[in-house]
Chain A
Amino acid sequence: AQSVTQLDSQVPVFEEAPVELRCNYSSSVSVYLFWYVQYPNQGLQLLLKYLSGSTLVKGINGFEAEFNKSQTSFHLRKPSVHISDTAEYFCAVSLGGKLIFGQGTELSVKP
């Protein structure tokens, strides 16, 4: 069975600081991995995805993630965050036509 664990429920950070949101997955088969962002009172928006190929994936809004098969991780990073990055971030894996989400990480960017 596949599962996704986001290791931090809340990440407070100051504006312009770097940030890493951690995600680990467990799967017995090849996976497709995603990061979604949910701004307050809105739906989910895809940030980036890993399907195959290069393990470093670049997404929208300056985010990137690195797929590490040996550590079964797919951590999300941004070198310098903005106030507008304050949101809930979800890591997800895709299996058999459905997305399995992690518990979410609340990123709070302070001035």
Chain B
Amino acid sequence: DTAVSQTPKYLVTQMGNDKSIKCEQNLGHDTMYWYKQDSKKFLKIMFSYNNKELIINETVPNRFSPKSPDKAHLNLHINSLELGDSAVYFCASSRLGQGASYNEQFFGPGTRLTVL
């Protein structure tokens, strides 16, 4: 069974559209994350949720809105998509919550978003 899963794997859409990416983890972890990997493969955290509560928001535009219906799911909704949003988005989860420095994260397979 996949520990951290994301859907869809590929997403191609037009500028201005609204889209969502879903993430689910079956590891029983409390904390989930979204990372963005740009075309140069640089990885940067976007959001972190601990038990459905937002704890990290790394100056991401308001067009990006994470939603956590329960601690096993963290979805990413993006409004008014722009060309610069094209990237690979990775979901991750970890056992320990806010404030813990030790933070082994388990990553999903990624969603490649292409905005035309």
Interface set of A (CB-CB < 8 Å, partner B): 30-32, 34, 36, 38, 42-46, 49, 51, 88, 90, 94-101, 103-104, 106
What CA separation (Å) do A38 and B35 show in the bound complex? Answer: 14
> Which A residues lie within 8 Å of B106 (CB)?
46
Instruction: Find chain B residues with CB under 8 A from A44 CB.
Output: 43, 90, 92, 107
A43 touches B110 (CB 8 A): yes
Pairwise interchain contact A97-B42, C-beta atoms closer than 8 A: no
Which chain B residues lie closer than 8 Å to A31 at the CB level?
101
Query: Chain A: which residue is nearest B97 at the CB level?
Result: A97
**Is B43 a contact of A101 with CB atoms below 8 Å?**
yes
Sample of 20 A–B contacts (CB below 8 Å): A30-B101, A32-B103, A36-B107, A43-B109, A46-B104, A46-B105, A46-B106, A49-B104, A51-B102, A94-B103, A97-B31, A97-B50, A97-B56, A97-B96, A97-B98, A97-B99, A98-B33, A98-B56, A101-B44, A104-B42
- A81 → chain B closest CB, angstroms: 20
Q: How many residues of B contact A (CB 8 A)?
A: 31
Interface pairs A-B: 3 shortest CB-CB = A44-B107, A43-B107, A101-B43
Chain A residue at smallest Cβ distance from B9: A41
**SS of B interface (majority):** loop
Measured CB to CB, the closest approach of chain B to A9, in angstroms, equals: 9
Among residues of B, the one whose C-beta sits closest to the C-beta of A88 is B41
**B45: interface (CB < 8 Å):** yes
Given A42-B109, A43-B107, A43-B110, A94 and B101 contact (CB-CB distance below 8 Å): yes
Contacting pair A45 B107 (CB below 8 A): yes
B76 is an interface residue with CB less than 8 A from chain A = no
**Residue on B nearest A52 in the bound complex, by CB:** B102
Contact B45 A99 (CB under 8 A): yes
Q: Which residue of B lies closest to A30 (CB)?
A: B101
User: How distant is the Cα of A83 from the Cα of B20 in the complex, in angstroms?
Assistant: 37
Determine the residue in chain B with the shortest Cβ distance to A104. Answer: B41
Give the residues in chain A near B108, CB-CB below 8 Å: 43
Residues of chain A with a CB closer than 8 A to B107's CB: 36, 43-45
